Every structure is written in structure tokens, then in C-alpha cells.
């Protein structure tokens, strides 16, 4: 089990400010060390204030590549599309924003294989993976149940996979493409950002369960060798 540090904030604005600063520092360090930064950013509502604040940072954005940790299989421009949200914020700054879903595939497994094939030549490992978490313990789009089993048993070199959450989450009831567990835990830095007591309880349970956790976030924490910062706001 990894070393975990909790950072508590009074509101999401404060959390956004702090995390934007951390992400900026990671990007700057990666550019200094390797001439470029490659980061994966979570979808969902929670990171909105982080991205808004980060977009104000004075950075050499042309050297920054951003990929969503996961996406819903919907066309570009759809309100449920994570890459569309990231593109709106970061493309105008000059960053590269790479989709994980590039075509409308009816078959989510094929969409996952296509994403995996494209991502094989991507810049691994990621400099940062910023994860969110659902109240069911899902992270990126690795959901508890069969998705987690598939994520755990699939080939180690796989970078992405297609998933069909069961039950479908009400906020985006569609199939998805997610970075694989191996891709996530190989990142040079791992951060989790969540809000609310319910999610905090779930995350504490996942940590307590350790390596045998049935929650995807628990397996990420069990498999990474890095210290993980958990950012939490009421
Ligand atoms: C997604 C995500 C997902 C998200 C959680 C939490 O696209 O669904 O990347 O893993 O982080 O579902 O979402 P909220 O922040 O909206 O609660």
C-alpha cells in the first residue's frame, strides 16, 4: 500500500486554487526535465474550478499535451464529452488535447481497442494523472463489477479499454473508453480530487480494504508505488 496524504479544503474554489498550483508545478518540472509535459485529467464536474484556475497559469502551453483519463462514447461537442470540456479550456492556450474516443463506435469494446492501438505510441509514462471518483468507487471509467475484473485481468501493456458500466451512471448513461489501470498507476504523479462526505467515506473504505478492495479506486491505490495526494473539499 502506498503513502497517502489528505489535503482538506473549505470549498471547491480553495481546492481548485491549490490543485491548479500543484498541477502547474508538475507541468513546469516536466518541461524543465524533458522539454514537454503529458498529463491525464479527469472528467466530471469536480475538477471544473481546478481547470479554470490552471488555464490562467503562465505556462509554455505548446509543450503541454492533455488527455482525458476517460471519456464517454459520444460525438465531439456533446455535453457529456470530457475531451470537449478540456478542449474548450486548454486548446485556446495552445496545448494539445488528445481524445480517447475519436469515432462513434457502437461497440464499446472496439472503441476501447482502437483507443488502445492509438495510445501505444503515446508518451508514456504520464507526468501526472489527476483522478476523480464516483460515489460507487469508480475512477476514470473503471467501474466496480465486471469492468474492474476486465481491467484487472487484461494485458499489462494495454493502455485503454472500452467499458459498459452496469448500472449505467445517470449523469452519463453511455459506454465509455478509459485509460487502463496499468496506464494510470504508471504515471509519475497521481492525485485524486473529490468533494463531499459521502465520497470521503467511500475512499476511506477503499483505503481500509487495501489490495483486496472491490472498489476501482482502492485497486489504483493498492497498485501504485507512488505517494498519492488526496484533495478533499466539503
Ligand atoms: C467521468 C470521470 C469520472 C469522474 C467521476 C466523478 O468522466 O465520469 O472522469 O471518473 O471523475 O464520475 O465525477 P464528478 O466529479 O462529476 O462527481
Q: What is the CATH number of the domain that holds 53?
A: 3.40.50.1360
Cα separation, 95 vs 146, in Å, equals 35
pLDDT value at 41 more than 90: yes
Rounded Cα distance, 37 and 128, in Å: 9
- 136 CA distance to ligand 1 middle (Å): 11
Q: Is the pLDDT of residue 1 over 60?
A: no
pLDDT at 160 over 70: yes
* Mean of per-residue pLDDT scores for the chain: 95
CA of 33 to the centre of ligand 1 (A): 31
Q: What is the rounded distance in angstroms from the CA atom of residue 70 to the CA atom of residue 151?
A: 13
Per DSSP, the three-state class of 126 is coil
Helix axes 216-223, 146-153, angle to 10 degrees: 20
Q: What are phi and psi of 199, to 5 degrees?
A: -70, -35
CA gap 44, 57 in Å, rounded:
22
Closest protein CA for atom 7 of ligand 1: 43
- Please report the beta strands in 28-131, taking only residues with DSSP state E, as ranges in sequence order: 37-41, 64-68, 70-72, 96-97, 128-131
Q: What is the pLDDT of residue 44?
A: 92
In this predicted structure, the answer to whether residue 150 has a pLDDT above a threshold of 80 is yes
ipTM score over 0.90, yes or no? yes
How many domains are there within the chain? 1
pLDDT in tens, 55-65: 999 999 999 99
Our answer on whether the CB atom of 140 is closer than 6 Å to any ligand 1 atom is: yes
pLDDT score of 147:
87
pTM: 0.96
Would you call the peptide bond into 162 cis, given omega within 30 degrees of 0 as the criterion?
no
Atom number, ligand 1, closest to the C-alpha of residue 131: 11
Neighbours of 206 (CB within 10 A): 22
Give the H or E element holding residue 153.
helix 146-153
Q: In terms of residue numbers, what domain contains 54?
A: 4-233
Amino acid at each position: 500500500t502506498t503513502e497517502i496524504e489528505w489535503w482538506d479544503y473549505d470549498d471547491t474554489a480553495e481546492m481548485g486554487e491549490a490543485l491548479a498550483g500543484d498541477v502547474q508545478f508538475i507541468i513546469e518540472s516536466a518541461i524543465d526535465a524533458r522539454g514537454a509535459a503529458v498529463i491525464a485529467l479527469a472528467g466530471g464536474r469536480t475538477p471544473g474550478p481546478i481547470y479554470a484556475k490552471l488555464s490562467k497559469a503562465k505556462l509554455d502551453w505548446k509543450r503541454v499535451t492533455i488527455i482525458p483519463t476517460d471519456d464517454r462514447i459520444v460525438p465531439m461537442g456533446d455535453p457529456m464529452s470530457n475531451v470537449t470540456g478540456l478542449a474548450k479550456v486548454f486548446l485556446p492556450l495552445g496545448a494539445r488535447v488528445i481524445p480517447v474516443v475519436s469515432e462513434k463506435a457502437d461497440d464499446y469494446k472496439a472503441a476501447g481497442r482502437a483507443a488502445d492501438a492509438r495510445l501505444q505510441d503515446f508518451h508514456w509514462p504520464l507526468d501526472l494523472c489527476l483522478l476523480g471518483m464516483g460515489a460507487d468507487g469508480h475512477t476514470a471509467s473503471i467501474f466496480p463489477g465486471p469492468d474492474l475484473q476486465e481491467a484487472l485481468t487484461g494485458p499489462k501493456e494495454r493502455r485503454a479499454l472500452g467499458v459498459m458500466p452496469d448500472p449505467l451512471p445517470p449523469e452519463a448513461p453511455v459506454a465509455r473508453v478509459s485509460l487502463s489501470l496499468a496506464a494510470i498507476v504508471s504515471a509519475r504523479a497521481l492525485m485524486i480530487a473529490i468533494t463531499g462526505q459521502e465520497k470521503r467515506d467511500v475512499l476511506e473504505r477503499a483505503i481500509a480494504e487495501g489490495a483486496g478492495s472491490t472498489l476501482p479506486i482502492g485497486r489504483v491505490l493498492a497498485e501504485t508505488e507512488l505517494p498519492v495526494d488526496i484533495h478533499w473539499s466539503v
